[in-house]
């Protein structure tokens, strides 16, 4: 008897579910915030910082130089009233040449002709106290100008100038300008020999341009003070 073959359909149940393939985690995109300042603001800040740096350089370097050159002279500190002339010295871009009120101007200098009298030493001190000095005459033109000024009213006789006898026969200007005998304006017979007359005056009554006299230092005379004119 032939054996009976039985066919059976067998199905295998897979207990485990199919593996799930996971991709890389999604990167979270940053949130888009609206811009809080304009694009030109950083440029403006940079410009302001640059201007601050420039201002500091000016304050630290430039202003001290300007301040030192603008310091008032001793003459300027002594007087409040000034008389100015628009004649400008060559080579300057300023517009006025000024002297204290009552002083006479010639070229680049201001001159004060006193009405009171002092001895030689006090005359020099008085001029220094006004920010000036006893006049130093350096040219024939200046000598001519002063000789004419001394003849103006009120009438006066002698005016001290800044020439002194340092040693016998050795004359010296008050500002140490070298003394040049060929450019001196002594009266005939002057200066006198000896060392007792060691100060110099302009003798107003002398009709010529040679009107210097040496005199004793304790005698009282008028004086001529000189200072550089102020250019503004």
Q: Is the pTM of the predicted complex or chain greater than 0.75?
A: no
Provide Rg for the chain, Cα atoms: 48
Whether 144 is in a domain gets the answer: yes
Whether 11 is in a domain gets the answer: no
Percent of the chain with pLDDT over 70: 74
Q: Provide the mean pLDDT of the chain.
A: 82
For 29, 157, 186, 213, the CA distances from 189, given in Å and listed in that order, are: 113, 19, 8, 9
Report phi then psi at 173, rounded to 5: -75, 155
pLDDT above 90 (res 160): yes
Give the residues across from 79 on adjacent strands: none
Whether 3 is in a domain gets the answer: no
Average pLDDT over residues 48-57: 80
Whether 149 is in a domain gets the answer: yes
CATH number where 221 lies: 3.10.100.10
Instruction: Return the DSSP state at 137.
Output: -
Counted domains in the chain:
1
Residue 38: exposed, middle, or buried by beta-carbon count in 10 A (0-12, 13-18, 19+)?
A: exposed
Percent of the chain with pLDDT over 90: 55
Q: Which of 27-31, 80-84, 132-136 is predicted with the least confidence, judged by mean pLDDT?
A: 27-31
- Domain extent, residue 186, equals 93-231
pLDDT greater at residue 77 or residue 140: 140
pLDDT above 50 (res 100): yes
């Amino acid at each position: 008897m032939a054996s009976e073959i039985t066919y059976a359909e067998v199905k295998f149940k897979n207990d485990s579910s199919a593996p799930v393939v996971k991709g890389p985690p999604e990167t979270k995109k940053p949130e888009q915030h609206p811009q809080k300042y304009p694009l030109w603001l950083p440029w403006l800040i940079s410009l302001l910082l640059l201007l601050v740096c420039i201002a500091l350089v000016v304050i630290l370097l430039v202003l001290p130089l300007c301040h030192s050159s603008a310091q008032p002279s001793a003459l300027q500190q002594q007087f409040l009233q000034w008389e100015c002339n628009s004649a400008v010295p060559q080579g300057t871009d300023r517009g006025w040449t000024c002297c204290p009120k009552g002083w006479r101007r010639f070229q680049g200098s201001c001159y004060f002709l006193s009405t009171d009298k002092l001895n030689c030493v006090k005359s020099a001190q008085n001029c220094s106290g006004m920010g000036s000095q006893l006049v130093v005459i350096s040219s024939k033109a200046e000598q001519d100008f002063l000789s004419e000024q001394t003849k103006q009213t009120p009438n006066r006789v002698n005016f001290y100038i800044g020439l002194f006898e340092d040693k016998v026969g050795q004359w010296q200007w008050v500002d140490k300008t070298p003394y040049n005998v060929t450019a001196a304006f002594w009266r005939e017979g002057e200066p006198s020999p000896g060392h007792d007359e060691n100060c110099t005056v302009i003798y107003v009554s002398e009709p010529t341009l040679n009107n210097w006299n040496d005199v004793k230092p304790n005698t009282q005379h008028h004086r001529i003070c000189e200072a550089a004119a102020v250019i503004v």
